Amino acid sequence: MSGNLKLALQKKGRLTEKSLELLSLCGLDIENYSERLVVSVRNFPMDILFLRDDDIPEYVQDGVADIGIVGENVVSEKQTQSLILEKLGFGRCSLLFAYPEGKEIKKIEDINEKTIATTYPRILKEYLRTNNLNAKVIELRGSVEIAPSLGVADLICDIVSTGNTLMMNKLKKSFKVFDSQAVLISAAGELKDERKNDVLRDLLRRIRSVKTAHSSKYLMMNIPKESLDKIIGIIPSLKSPTVLHLADENMLAVHAVIPSDKFWEIIEDLKSAGASGVLLLPIENLIQ
Ligand code: PRP
Ligand code: ZN
């Protein structure tokens, strides 16, 4: 194989599309990947390996891949020597208990003496230990959600994202064990190849820029000159806002980068301070 940096991605699943979308926002032009195990990136010295997500931490630890994108849940379950380089902010899900009708758990102690099916035995057993609970853990490789209806387990401990899988299997959410999102991992310690290290640093820089850009928006508005101080006091700007003169000398234009989620909190205050023509634009990249 080439001396390119090797990135492992989930072959088919919740994280695949979002991971590819992130890479494409990083400016990477990825070959059509349908059904292939390895694809290259046209404009970046990196190859992408498509693997089963559960295998990714081990492959990264063993150097089959240099880095990987995988759920924190899998990283934590596998307990390999891999290192989380960056949390990626997508693929959010929780590992939680779910029960079928008639087996309700009102308080966590209700799981004592119960049988729990899971694909996350390590995390679950650790949780039981730290909470002084005593339940039987049944380890399954998949399709955990059908275990209660098959009579194999009283309840399950599984990953829930949208909740559709639980709903389809008539299971109800209960206590949460672990919150997870997609992360970028590498083997512990620096990569041995200096060139690959440079490529990894470049990739991380791009990923961070995309992440900040996505959590920020570009706010533009016109304001009456006399409201400037008031408006500046309202804007939760990352840097000092830009103030521009307009042809109408009683008016100013104010531009600022703000955290996306703050917009709806401040819009009414801006309007009552006299702001008009308010525009909120997406930002593609933001280098800080
Ligand atoms: C989990 C879990 C469910 C599904 C739940 O699998 O086992 O099958 O996600 O998602 P939902 O709440 O949106 O319906 P995961 O994607 O972790 O992958 P897996 O195939 O490796 O188990
Ligand atoms: Zn998996």
The residues of the chain that CATH labels 3.30.70.120 are 216-282
**Ligand 1: centre distance to CA 41 (Å):** 28
Beta carbons within 10 angstroms of residue 73's beta carbon: 24
What tokens were used for 26?
């990083």
Report the nearest atom of ligand 1 relative to the CA of 73.
17
* CATH code, residues 216-282: 3.30.70.120
Position 33 scores a pLDDT of: 73
d(CA 208, CA 263): 22
Residue minimizing CA distance to atom 19 of ligand 1: 13
Confidence band, pLDDT 50/70/90 cuts, at residue 37: very high
**CATH number listed for the domain at residues 93-180:** 3.40.190.10
Q: What is the pLDDT of residues 171-228, one digit of tens each?
A: 999 999 999 999 999 998 778 899 999 999 999 999 999 998 888 999 999 999 999 9
Q: Is the pTM of this model over 0.75?
A: yes
**Do 19 and 3 meet the contact criterion of CB atoms below 8 Å apart?**
no
Length of the chain: 288
Which residues of the chain are in CATH 3.40.190.10 domains? 5-91+182-213, 93-180
Ligand 1 pocket test, candidate residues 69, 141, 161, 173, most atoms within 8 A of CB? 161
Q: Do 200 and 191 contact (CB within 8 A), yes or no?
A: yes
CA-nearest of 273, 277, 231 to 256 is 231
Spatial contact of 128 and 49, defined as CB atoms under 8 Å apart: no
pLDDT of res. 1 = 56
* CA 38–ligand 1 middle distance (angstroms): 24
254-273 pLDDT per residue, tens: 999 999 989 999 999 999 99
Averaged pLDDT score across all residues of the chain: 94
Nearest ligand 1 atom to alpha carbon 165: 14
Instruction: Say which CATH architecture domain 5-91+182-213 belongs to.
Output: 3-Layer(aba) Sandwich (3.40)
As for ligand 1, residues whose beta carbon falls within 6 Å of it are 13-14, 53, 142, 158-165
